[in-house]
């Protein structure tokens, strides 16, 4: 019987930590088996600042997901974000010793390795090198150079850079929670897998993921990621502004934003007022919804303008770089009322809200098709692509007692030999199936995960 490919994604956000267990059903859609959610303590603007609290929050989310699904989690694919992430465009080339030989995967790997040696600022490391378009002997706009002839192979690269210590801290938290790290994915890329269609990526689209602590941007054109950025503002700064502006506590500010908040002040009439209970027998506070909207509007405009500055920096005004599919908003902040209209007004670009429901099985809980879960869904999809067996059914690992006494004696060596042979065959078949191009695209962070694991093992 074929083993179930159970995948697990872990979204470590500033406001919440989500552990999601899923598998592909017979129609190729994602069936969610269990979700665990906990309040994120110890993470600020996407960066771990308290190891102990983060470990507790991760364990709580993992435990809840295991209880809901009946599966035991072994390893997870984790999303990486935070204000320390930045991206650069870089062009590099290699001169091939024999132009009469066809270009192979080794040549591309050599070019990527060369980019990986770029000098970075102290404490920074390259975590992701993505080839964009290739140029062979001056011939440009080549998407697949493998199999072609040429002496000079050149490519433009999208290079994602981050603070090594921040990423290692995430690795430490996961390891200390009693689970393994099977993969790392840039969170805007995970969200894009969940909410964008291939047509949008081809036409040109900007994905804006408004989280609690940060707002992530990923720009696609011609099916290739062109630009990524992390803006260190999110939904939490809006709540802080409400707290200060209305002189109320944080919990009330968050509730006000979710229930009555709007990014468009013109919507509310002057006489619309909400009453907030006073603290410890004090008089209730009356807050005008128009004032509330003005506070929210001012901060959302600031966030959107910073994102739009990044879109301009990519060069979307150039006709060749035009983003025909416009903007897609996702993340918890995308649920704010009238935010779509405000983004359209500021940027002049078509905008829609991105829901991950396109990839979910029909019988999935409606809650999981919310933009709030876009990153978690994308991480599970990434884990499925990596063919990880990240969770096992509880009790499946324990063999039932007494049955063995009724069975004929087993030649354990023969069983072991057969398993080893099957494993070798599987590896070989995987090697044959995978083209060199796929090797590059298969996992952005494969080698980086190994580097983190080595670092953590040595640190002990």
User: For 261-275, 298-312, 435-449, which range has the lowest pLDDT when averaged over its residues?
Assistant: 435-449
Q: Which of 38-42, 133-137, 402-406 shows the lowest per-residue confidence on average (mean pLDDT)? A: 402-406
Mean of the per-residue pLDDT values of the chain: 85
Can you list the alpha helix ranges (DSSP code H) found in 230-288?
Answer: 235-246, 250-260
Mean pLDDT of 345-373: 89
- Give DSSP secondary structure letters for 426-442: HHHHHHHH--HHHHHHH
| Cβ-proximal residues to 95 (8 Å cutoff; 6+ apart), any chain | 151, 152
- Top pLDDT among 437 and 245 is at 245
Q: Which residue has the higher pLDDT, 82 or 381?
A: 381
| Interval 262-283 mean pLDDT | 83
**Mean pLDDT of the region 257-283:** 85
pLDDT in tens, 101-155: 999 889 999 999 999 989 888 889 888 788 888 999 989 888 889 999 999 999 9
Q: Is the pLDDT of residue 363 over 80?
A: no
Which has the minimum average pLDDT: 167-176, 301-310, 323-332, 386-395? 386-395
pLDDT at residue 160 above 60?
Answer: yes
Task: Say how far apart CA 123 and CA 407 lie, in whole Å.
Answer: 59
Task: State the pLDDT at residue 392.
Answer: 85
Which two structure tokens, joined as six digits, stand for 177?
A: 């929670």
Distance in angstroms (rounded) separating the CA atoms of residues 167 and 82: 10
Of the candidates 234, 245, 268, which has an alpha carbon nearest to the alpha carbon of residue 337?
268
Query: For residue range 413-444, what is the model confidence (pLDDT) as tens digits?
Result: 555 555 566 555 555 544 444 444 455 555 45
pLDDT cut 90: percent of the chain above it: 50
User: Phi, psi (5° rounding) for residue 367?
Assistant: -60, -35
pLDDT-derived band of residue 411, with 50, 70 and 90 as boundaries? low
**What pLDDT is attached to residue 1?**
36
H or E, element range at 218: strand 215-221
Give the residue-averaged pLDDT of 367-385: 91
**pTM of this structure:** 0.83
pLDDT reported for residue 417: 59
C-alpha Rg value of the chain to the nearest Å: 25
Task: Tell me the pLDDT band of 330, cut-offs 50, 70 and 90.
Answer: very high
Among 244, 334, 340, 234, smallest CA distance to 292 is for 244
Query: pLDDT tens for residues 189-220?
Result: 899 999 999 999 999 999 999 999 899 999 99
Per-residue model confidence (pLDDT) at position 404:
38
Between strands 215-221 and 180-186, the pairing is unpaired
- Helix, strand or coil, per DSSP, at residue 301: helix
Would you mind telling me the total number of residues written for the chain in this entry? 460
Q: How far apart are CA 399 and CA 427, in angstroms?
A: 27
Secondary structure element (H or E) that encloses residue 56, with its range? helix 51-69
Q: What is the mean pLDDT of residues 359-369?
A: 83
322 closest CA partner among 216, 206, 159, 231: 206
Residue 322, token pair as written in the block: 């035009």
* pLDDT category of residue 455 using cuts at 50, 70 and 90: confident
| Mean pLDDT, rounded, for 270-298 | 87
What residue has token string 């309040």?
Answer: 39
CA distance 83 to 328: 21
H/E run at residue 139: strand 139-142
Task: Report pLDDT for 416.
Answer: 57
Task: Report the percentage of the chain scoring pLDDT > 70.
Answer: 87
Distance CA(440)–CA(279), nearest Å, equals 57
């Amino acid at each position: 019987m074929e083993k179930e490919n159970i995948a697990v994604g872990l979204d470590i956000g500033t406001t919440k930590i989500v552990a999601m267990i899923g598998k592909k059903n017979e129609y190729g859609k994602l069936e969610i088996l269990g979700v665990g959610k906990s309040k994120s303590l110890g993470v600020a603007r996407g960066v771990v600042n308290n190891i102990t609290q983060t470990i507790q929050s991760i364990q709580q989310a993992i435990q809840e997901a295991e209880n809901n699904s009946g599966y035991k989690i072994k390893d997870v694919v984790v999303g990486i974000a935070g204000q320390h992430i930045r991206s650069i465009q870089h062009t590099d080339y290699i001169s091939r010793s024999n132009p009469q030989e066809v270009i192979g995967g080794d040549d591309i790997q050599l070019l990527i390795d060369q980019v990986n040696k770029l000098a970075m600022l102290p404490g920074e490391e390259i975590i992701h090198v993505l080839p964009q378009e290739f140029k062979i002997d001056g011939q440009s706009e080549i998407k697949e150079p493998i199999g072609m002839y040429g002496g000079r192979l050149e490519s433009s690269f999208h290079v994602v850079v981050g603070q090594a210590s921040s990423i290692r801290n995430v690795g430490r938290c996961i390891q200390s929670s009693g689970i393994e790290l099977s993969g790392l994915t840039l969170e805007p890329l995970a969200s894009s897998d969940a909410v964008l269609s291939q047509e949008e990526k081809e036409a040109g689209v900007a994905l804006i993921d408004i989280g609690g602590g940060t707002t992530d941007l990923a720009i696609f054109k011609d099916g290739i990621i062109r630009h990524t950025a992390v803006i260190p503002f999110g939904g939490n700064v809006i709540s802080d502004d409400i707290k200060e502006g209305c002189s109320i506590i944080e919990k009330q500010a968050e509730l006000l934003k979710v229930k009555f908040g709007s990014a468009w002040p013109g919507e509310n009439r002057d006489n619309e007022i909400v009453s907030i209970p006073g603290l410890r027998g004090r008089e209730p506070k009356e807050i005008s919804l128009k004032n509330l909207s003005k506070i929210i509007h001012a901060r959302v405009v600031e966030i959107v303008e910073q994102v739009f500055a990044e879109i301009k920096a990519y060069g979307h005004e150039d006709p060749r770089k035009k983003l025909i599919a416009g903007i897609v908003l996702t993340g918890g902040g995308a649920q704010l009322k009238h935010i779509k209209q405000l983004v359209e007004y500021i940027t002049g670009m078509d905008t829609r809200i991105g829901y991950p429901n396109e990839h979910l099985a029909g019988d999935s809980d409606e809650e999981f098709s919310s933009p709030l879960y876009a990153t978690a869904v994308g991480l599970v999809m990434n884990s499925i692509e990596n063919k990880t067996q990240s969770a096992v059914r509880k009790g499946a690992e324990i063999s039932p007692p007494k049955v063995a006494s009724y069975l004929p004696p087993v030649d354990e060596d023969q069983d072991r030999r057969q398993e080893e042979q099957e494993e070798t065959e599987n590896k070989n078949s995987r090697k044959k199936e995978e083209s060199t191009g796929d090797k590059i695209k298969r996992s952005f962070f494969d080698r980086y995960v190994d580097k983190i694991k080595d670092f953590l093992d040595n640190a002990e």
